[in-house]
Every structure is written in C-alpha cells, then in structure tokens.
Amino acid sequence: MAEEAPEDGGTRTLPSLRRLSRALPFGRTHGRLGASSSGRPVVSALCSQESVDPQKTAFLLRKAWTLYSVTPLYRFRRARLRDYARLLSAFIAAERHRGLAVAVGAEMDIAVRLSSLAELRGTDLDQAALLVQLSSRSRASSRSSEDKPVWSGWFCSMFGDDLSENIPEDFTSLPLFLSHGAESYTALVGSWFQKTFDCCFRRLAISPQNLSWMVAMWAGCGLDTAASAVELVFSVPRLAQPLDIFYAIHPEDAKALWDTVQKTPGEITQEEVDVFMDCLYAHFHRHFKIHLSAAKLVKVSTAIASAHCDGIVKILHSQYLPGVLMLLTELAISQIQ
Amino acid sequence: MRPRRSSRTPKQSPHVRRKTQTDLSAWRKGGRTDSEKSLQHHQSVNDQKYDSQEGSLEQALSYLEKVQDRVALKKNSVLQRHLDTVESTALKQGLPPEGFEILLNVALSGKFADAVNTRLLRSLIPASVIPENSVVSAVSWLCVGKCSGNIQLLFLKWLITVFDFIDRKEQLNALYGFFFSFLQDEKMCPYICHVLYLLTRKENVKPFRIRRLLDLQAKMGMQSHLQALLSLYKLFCPELVTITLPGKMKTYFKNSEGPWKAAITAVRSRNQGPSPLSQAVVLGTSQPQSRKRKWNAQLVIPASSRSTNNLEEIRGKSSVCLYNTNKSFPVEQLQTFPQLLQNIHRLEFPSQMGSVLTSPLLLHYMNCMKDESIYLRLYYWMGQMLQEECAWCVVDNPNEEEFKSFLQSIYKAECFLQEGFSACEEFLYKTLPLWDGFCCRSEVLSLVSWIPLSNFSDIKSYLYDPLAQLFFTSSIYFKCSVLESLKQLLQNWLNCNVIRVDSEFSSLNTTLSGLVNMVAELVHFVGWISTIGLRLEDNSTFLLHFILDFYGTVCDMYLKYNLPLLIMPPAGVFYPALLSMDSVNLNQLCHIMYRYRTNLVAAKENEQSKKNILQFKFSNQTYQEYNQYIIAMVGCLWTSSAFQKDIHPQGLCMDDKVLCKTGVKELKTSFNIVYHPAMMGYSIEFLKQLCPDDTTFNFKLIKGKKWDWYLEYLYSQGLKGLKVFIESSISRVSQASRSKAANVQT
C-alpha cells in the first residue's frame, strides 16, 4: 500500500507539481495528499535526441540497477568529496572489522571513490549526479595491479524540480539512488549516507500501472538498429504453484499499435496507455483465452530499458538514459513526498 | 588554592590541631621524590598523649604523617591503633578532605608494608570531596614507582571509583600524558584506559595518541577497554578515527568496583544526600536490535551521535592542531539538564535528527532553536519511517509492536513540544482511510489529537469522513476513544490559538475567521457523530459521559480560550442528557449549561460596551437555542412544565391529551428535581432521612422549607453542577411560591 497510485485518467502532459511548501513545518496548506496524480514526462523529453556523452555514461548501461528513493541530503558539500571518501572508507573498514578501531585516511582493503557526473542532470536546478565506487585492493599485488571494482552506486536527479525548487539551501536533492553490487555494500554505503547526511533510503518499487506506462512509452520510441522484442512478464496471483506468463511482441508491431493509439505526438494520457494495454490483452485472450488483466504485470522489457516491479531497472540505450531517469526521478520524488 | 588543614569541622574533631600548617607545596618544589627530606619540614613529633583508648583521627593522621622509617605492623601497637582509628572513622563518617594527601602520600611512598598500604587505601572514603592536589601528588608517587604493582593497581581502582569526588580536574587533566604513558604496562592498561576515559577531553585527542592506541590494539587485539577509549576518541574526533562496536557488548570496563563503592554510598547516605552521579559509560553506538532488519528500514530511532559532517576540512597533517578549537560539545555526552544549560551555545544537533525523539534534553534544545532545517530533517525521516513501517499498510508487516512504540515516541515528543509534526499529520491523512480502527488504536487516536491547526481545507474528507465511518461501525469503547481524542484535538487547537494571540505570532496564515471555521467544523462534526452514536448505543450513559466531556470544553471557548465562538450541543445530545437516568450526566449537563450562560452573558456585555468593535458577534440563533434549552431544563427540574412549555422543535412538548393518557395524576407537579429519574435515588434517600418511619415515600412532602433542605441535601451529595445551574439560572421569586416560580434570566 505504500505505493498509492489512484490514477484519475486525465491527461498527463505536464507534471502536476506537488510542491513542498516553504512554511511546511508550521501549519500550511498542502495539496499533496491522497490522489497523488504523479506527473508524466512529456514524450518529447523522453525520446529526446540530445543525449549525454555516451562515452562517459557507458558504464551505467546494461547493468541491473536496484532503485531507491532518497530524501534530500543535509549539508552535503560537493567540494568535500575526497574527505567523504576517506570517512566512508574508514567507516566500511570499521563496520567490516567490528570492534577494531580504524584510523581515518589509512589504506583500507576497500577503496572508495566519490565523483560527480556533471553530465547527468536535466536542468540547472538539478544537482549533478554523484557516483560512489567501491573497489577492493588486493594486498598481495600491492598497488601495481588495478583495484577490482566490487560495487557502485549513484545518486541522481533528472528534472527533479518538483523537489529541488522548494528545499532550503542546506539540503541537496538527489532523490534517485541506483546501486549495483552486493547488498551488503549497499547497506554499508547507505547507512553511512543516512548517518552523515540525515537522509532516508527506501526501496523504490514500481507499480504495475507505472510498468504499463513504461512499456507504452518505450514501445513507441523508434530505434534505428534492429531492436529486441517487447516483453511483458505477468505473474498470476494466489496460485499454489507460481505461474509466470511471458508475452513477447515484435517491436515493430508494438510501435505500430502504439502509433494507432496515440492521438497527439509528444503527449501521453492514461487513457491511451489503457487502450494500448487492453489491445495487447485482447490479442492474448483471442489466442490463449487468458485474461492478462487479472494477472499482475511484474516486468517489462523493451529495446530501451527493462524494469521489474521490485524496483530493478536495466537501461540499454544511452540515447534514452535521460528520459528513463526522468521517469524514475519522478517516481522517487512521489515516494518521498 | 589548597584547602586549609585547620579548617576542619569541629564535629569531626574536638581536638583542635595546633600544629603549624604543613606547607606541602613548598615541599613539592624542593624535591618531591625525596620523602626523607620532606619529612624534615615537619615539626618534630609532638608528644601527644593518647589518653583515650580510641585515638582520634587527628592523632592518627599526624602520626602517619611523621613516620620516618619502615615500620612493621606486627610489633607496633601504636601504628596498629592508628590504623584502626583511620579505618573505623572512614567507614563510619568518611575522611575529611585534608586527610587524603597524608594518607595517599603514606600509602604510595612505600614506607609501610603492602598490607598496611592496602588497608590505608581501602579506607580512603571521602566524607565530602577529595582535593585535587592530593591526587596529583599521589600520581607523582606513582611515577616514582616506590610502591608495588599491586598498590599501584589498587590506587588506580580507587581513583576510578572516587573520580567524581575530586573537587577539580584541571591539574589532573594536565597529567594526561603521564597516565597515557602507563598504557604500555600490561597489567595497568585496563585501569589506565578507564582513567583516561574519565579524563579525556577533546584537546587530549591527538593523532599520535590515536596511533599509539591503534598500535596497542594491533598488539593486544580487541580489548573492550581499548574499544571504549577509542570510541570516546572517535566521539571527539570522528575525522581521525572510527570504530564500530560489536552490538552484544555490555560492559566496557571490567574493573570491579573495589571495596569502596558500598562504603561510599553508606557514608554519603548517612552524611547527606545521594552521591554525585558517577559518570556513566556513554557509548551510544551499540543498540540492542531485536532482530536483523533491512538496513534502510530500521524502526530503531537512531542513537544521537555527532555528525562528522560539520567539521572543517582536513587540509593536511600539519593542520591537526586546528581541531583544538573546543567549539562543539558531543551530543552523546549530553546527559543532564545542567550540562545542556552549560553547553547550549556549543551544542550541535545529532547527525540524525530522528534521535531527538527519545531525548528530552534534545527536545528542550529543539524548542529553543526554531530552525526550519530541524523540522525539515525530521519531516523527511519521519515521513519515510511511517510509510515504510505502517503496520496496517505494509503487507505482512510483523512488527506491529515496534510500530506501536514508534508512534508512542512520536506522540510523547509532540506532547513535549506542544506541537504536531507535519509528517505525522500527512501520514494520518494518507492512512486513516485504510485503517481498521483496531491496529495501534490508542496510538493512532492520540496522534490525531495533535493534528495541527491549519487552513487545510480537505480535513473533512481526510480526517472526519474516515473517522466517522469507523465510529459508526465500531464498539462503544472505540466511540469513546474517538471522542476523547477529538476533545484533546479541540483543546490543542484552542491552546495553540491562545498562544498565538498572546505572542502576536501573525506570520501564520491562519486568520481568526479561518480558525473559527476550523473549530466550528470540528464541533459540528462531533455533534453529528454524537447524535448518531447515542442512537446507535441506545443512549448509553458511558458514551454520553464522553460526549458531555467534549462539550465541557466547547461551552467555555469564549471566556477560557478567547475564541468568539459558542456552539450549543445538538438536540440529539441535549435531550438524552437532560432525560438521562444517571445523575452524573445530568449534573454535568447543568454545569455545562451554567458555563454557556456565563460565556453568553460575558459576550453580550462585551457587545454592549463595544469594547471589541471588530469582535465576532454571536448569532441570535445561539441565544435562541440556549433559551429553548433552558426552558426545557427548568421545566424538567423545577416547574414540572417541560411537556407543556418546551418550545424546541425537537423537544419534549406533548399534547395535553397525550399526557392525559399516561394516567399520571397531578401532571403539573410530577416532573421536577424530585421525580426526575436521575434524581429519584436522592429523593428517596432524602425522605428516608426526613421521616425514617414512613415507608410510603410521600414525595409531596418535599416542598416549602423541605424543598430547600432537599436542595441542600443534593448539593452536599456533590451535585455541584446542579447547584451552580440553579443558583444562576433560576431566580426564586418569593419564599411562598419558590417551588413553582422560575425565570430564565438571559
């Protein structure tokens, strides 16, 4: 129930901003309760041709990232990344060797690197993304050999104006966090950030409704290269044996279907998404006599990205990186507010 | 600086010491290591006469002070006796401050055998304080190494036990380096760590010391005493060293309490109040955790710990001295209110704001610092925690108990701050529609009472509608709890308004009319659910009690809370209360109506004197409603004319023919304070007392003078509400017709 999404079916051309009022703690009016009609990105932004330097963000692609929402960081100073890295590295060492004190700044077996990814932001209001990399130093081969990367994670805000516009100076809004690597490292890094910047991490699950938005949006984006199939995975609830249904559609068919559904280019409505999905369901029913609408959509994958309802995404195409991140940022913000 | 030896209390020593003051400071300058020499400064041994069997402490001390050579205890009965004296005095009343220097010097200088030294050290029980100087000179003896290892250890144990009795610690702290150097002694190390733990200040934490401790740790492995000291270092300089303590640790210093603790407590309780709080080991990092949880969703409220984040940038090894700026006070060490007062200017909020919830001291501090970021940090943290852990929203959440206690902590903090948290308010709005009214019931309802007063326009759909749904479908106990919580909510709003008016705190965008509308909406809501609730519960006395309790606040809003608003209870509440079978509720109703009267009269007077021109004017309808109710009440309680004269549209007025059908004789005198079902018990009791022999219960006897007696009797039974109501609202025209005449005065 944490994920509430009573959609009203209205047009979603512009993100309906749900602002964090300045005078928040002292009794204010606020309109961000209940029917949280989360805004939808404009398609043009999603399929924007201007993309970030593919070289610099290539390592973000084709990896399964686990999603978290993060409340604004308190007193985060970008100029101090090096200090943060030293402290975080000492923290990790101290946590791993519980009970042994560790001098800050000493060589640790896990090296930490914090860096900014200035390319990854939507507007000037967005903070540049922050990359955290952990690598293990092999003691034997000292420093001659390359450190072996063991975990990475990054904070980002892509068109997250909703949140960043309205927070005081001492706070840094980077609402989306993505991690790749062992959960134990995520826990260490996350705890350190929570302790140091008084923020909260929460897993970001994606509701079936948002998954259908994703598949509709992404199916409609044409790609030059031979694209892979559009795949939907459904799970049937309340069965003794888990039953998953895989539904694959040829990308061109999916795009053709979407093009007939969409009325105005650059704009997506809930209605259109519903029609798109209903068409897919009807087609499936005709062949297999199964009502997919009664099953739960758990995963979608397209040539652009794949997303699982547990909050795991894989972005495949650098051109669409900003668009996908924008959508995820929006989901993260709606979970925070 | 030095406490004068001659200033001893007469109580403790009838023998006034005539000896000249021993100048130990001069002695120390001369050559502190040479005990022989030092003794030459003393006067030659007085020819003291030990006239009594029990030598005085005085004599014992002066004897011990002057002993020159090693003396064997066995052969020396004088020493034996003095030792006994010291021991018995110490155990009985503790030693005076000036005794410590002498005894410490003797015990640590190695003049006696260890057995004697041990006995001396064991009897070092302070009556009041221990002079710092005595400890400093003792430490210098320790450095000289004249005494055996066992005595050294015993001394350290003593020092740890009595640390809080030492009057000042400046000079002692100056010896930090000496203590630190003892760390290499394996036997002493645990005790030295404890002493250092007690002694360490921020300026003592130096990189070279940290290195030394880390080396020791490398050599000796995980030792709890090293861990404790290192975590204290971390507390002061998190930018230099860090440590995570294993969660299961309980004691960090295994030192036995030595032979002193019990004796000190006994002496203290005999002499004066309780002993000063001994410094507790504060290592907030280890928290008992019920079980392994997701790292990012621990409902454990974070321990307050200092942030590493606000420290200056580290620029290089040479700049380490910069950290000596003794600016901030670690929140982990904040344990008492005086500490808060002393350090309030250099206190920092903990790194995780959520930890204030469990710290009353930090809540005090928070109250002083009205900083937006504090609330925003709390807002984010609390909002996420509430959503993530909500026991009735998250499927299969097994942690209802934890969530309950979390809600309790929030509620307590709100009561403390007298202010609701906005994260909590939003949480309630979001989740009340999903609430079953059962899970964490009392916690949720108490949080409802702290929903802040605001212009929030949708409060009906977010609060009232879901509450009403649950109210109508739940048990009577739930109904009563809801009413109780709404009464609290009303009071909190009213209080908040009073504070605001007083402080002219106009920055809030809630105008007076906005406030009035909010309150009116709440009161009408409660009137509505009460009416239906009474019908559903068959006019339950219990429920009625809670409803009237709510109106007990409503009826006084004008005078008590300065709010230009009075709302009468609906007929669905008023009539059940008036015809209640229960005298408590009837009495309460009388009291409420009396307060309404007082408020309305005051409002009218204010209106007429035009004191407040802009003042909100009560509508005539309120007066009219009040008058209708009063007529019904007087009819029911006094004139027996309720059925004829009640003019309220939902009232009791009945056609004469219908009344006749009841077959009640003498209708016109048969329903008043004597016959009212709630009062019947009293009138019977009264009659029994009046004419004990009459068993016919002739109620008609109660009239005239006896009516007055009856009233007195009722008042004496605690019906104070009835008393004030009758005295204010019923004017008794003449002695003769007092039983009939009644008059409404408004």
Residue B505, chain A, CB below 8 Å: the answer is no
CA B51 to mean position of chain CA atoms:
57
Asked whether residue A287 carries a pLDDT value surpassing 80, the answer given is yes
- Are residues B377 and A74, on separate chains, in Cβ contact within 8 Å? yes
Question: Average pLDDT of chain B?
Answer: 80
Written in H, E and C, the secondary structure of B443-483 is: HHHHHHCCCCCCCCCCHHHHHHHHHHHHHHHCCHHHHHHHH
The mean pLDDT value for A33-41 works out to: 39
Asked whether residue B632 carries a pLDDT value surpassing 80, the answer given is yes
- pLDDT reported for residue B180: 94
- pLDDT reported for residue A30: 34
Written in H, E and C, the secondary structure of A166-196 is: CCCCCEECCCEEEEEECHHHHHHHHHHHHHH
Number of C-beta neighbours around residue A248 at 10 A: 13
The mean pLDDT value for B600-611 works out to: 81
DSSP A70-137: EPPEES--GGGHHHHHHHHHHHHHHHHTTT--EETTS--SEEEEEEEETT--SSTTSPPEEEEEEEEP
pLDDT, tens digit, for every residue of B452-483? 887 667 888 899 999 999 999 999 999 999 99
- pLDDT reported for residue B179: 93
pLDDT, tens digit, for every residue of B280-309? 444 544 344 444 456 655 555 666 666 666
- pLDDT reported for residue B569: 96
Distance CA B83, CA B610 (A): 88
| A163 close to A331: Cβ distance less than 8 angstroms | no
Q: Give the rounded percent of residues in chain A with a pLDDT score beyond 90.
A: 53
pLDDT band at B71 (very low <50, low <70, confident <90, very high): low
Residue with tokens 């009403």: B468
Task: Give first-to-last CA distance, chain A, whole Å.
Answer: 15
- pLDDT reported for residue B248: 63
Chosen for mutation from B230, B237, B308 (greatest number of chain A CBs closer than 10 Å) is B308
pLDDT band at A225 (very low <50, low <70, confident <90, very high): low
Rank A41-55, B43-57, B245-259, B495-509 by mean pLDDT and report only the highest: B245-259
Distance CA A217, CA A324 (A): 10
Longest dimension (CA), chain B: 121
| A323 close to A41: Cβ distance less than 8 angstroms | yes
pLDDT, tens digit, for every residue of A170-224? 999 999 999 999 999 999 999 999 989 999 999 999 999 999 999 998 888 866 6
A93: chain B residues, CB-CB within 8 Å: 242
- Are residues B240 and A101, on separate chains, in Cβ contact within 8 Å? no
pTM of the shown model? 0.79
Asked whether residue B322 carries a pLDDT value surpassing 50, the answer given is no
Kind and range of the H or E element at B35?
helix B35-41
Residue B457, chain A, CB below 8 Å: the answer is yes
Q: How far is A246 from chain B (nearest CA, A)?
A: 26
pLDDT, tens digit, for every residue of A96-145? 888 888 888 888 889 999 999 988 888 888 999 999 999 998 766 555 55
Helix (H), strand (E) counts: chain A: 9, 14
B462: chain A residues, CB-CB within 8 Å: 33-34
Residue B351, chain A, CB below 8 Å: the answer is yes
| Lowest model confidence (mean pLDDT) among A68-77, A301-310, B392-401 | B392-401
Which residue among A80, A186, A195 places its CB closest to the CB of B351? Answer: A195
pLDDT band at B247 (very low <50, low <70, confident <90, very high): low
Which residue among A27, A95, A168 places its CB closest to the CB of B453? Answer: A27
- pLDDT reported for residue B310: 54
Asked whether residue B313 carries a pLDDT value surpassing 60, the answer given is no
Asked whether residue A306 carries a pLDDT value surpassing 80, the answer given is yes
Asked whether residue A277 carries a pLDDT value surpassing 60, the answer given is yes
The mean pLDDT value for B707-721 works out to: 93
- Of residues B334 and A215, more confidence is placed in A215
Which residue among A1, A94, A190 places its CB closest to the CB of B243? Answer: A94
The mean pLDDT value for A278-298 works out to: 94
- For B22, the 3-state DSSP assignment is coil
- pLDDT reported for residue B359: 86
- Of residues A165 and A11, more confidence is placed in A165
Main-chain dihedrals φ then ψ at residue A22, nearest 5 degrees: -60, -45
- Are residues A198 and B351, on separate chains, in Cβ contact within 8 Å? yes
- pLDDT reported for residue B291: 40
**Partner residues linked to B456 by β-bridges:** none
- Of residues B287 and B512, more confidence is placed in B512
Number of C-beta neighbours around residue B184 at 10 A: 13
- pLDDT reported for residue B49: 39
Main-chain dihedrals φ then ψ at residue B415, nearest 5 degrees: -65, -40
Asked whether residue B28 carries a pLDDT value surpassing 50, the answer given is no
The mean pLDDT value for A152-159 works out to: 94
- For B571, the 3-state DSSP assignment is helix
pLDDT, tens digit, for every residue of A123-135? 888 999 999 999 9
A27: chain B residues, CB-CB within 8 Å: 422, 452-454, 508, 510
- Of residues B695 and B304, more confidence is placed in B695
Residue B35, chain A, CB below 8 Å: the answer is no
Distance CA B159, CA B168 (A): 13
Chosen for mutation from B197, B229, B243 (greatest number of chain A CBs closer than 10 Å) is B243
- pLDDT reported for residue B650: 85
Q: Which two tokens stand for residue B652?
A: 């009791």
Residue B385, chain A, CB below 8 Å: the answer is yes
Q: Please report the sign of the dihedral spanned by the C-alpha atoms of residue B628, residue B630, residue B636, residue B638.
A: negative
The mean pLDDT value for B324-335 works out to: 70
| Lowest model confidence (mean pLDDT) among A29-38, A166-175, B199-208, B678-687 | A29-38
pLDDT band at A146 (very low <50, low <70, confident <90, very high): low
- Are residues B296 and A201, on separate chains, in Cβ contact within 8 Å? yes
Which residue among B230, B296, B395 places its CB closest to the CB of A101? Answer: B230
- Are residues B295 and A190, on separate chains, in Cβ contact within 8 Å? yes
Chosen for mutation from B384, B389, B429, B459 (greatest number of chain A CBs closer than 10 Å) is B384
Asked whether residue B416 carries a pLDDT value surpassing 90, the answer given is yes
- For B517, the 3-state DSSP assignment is helix
pLDDT, tens digit, for every residue of B199-225? 998 889 999 999 999 999 999 888 888
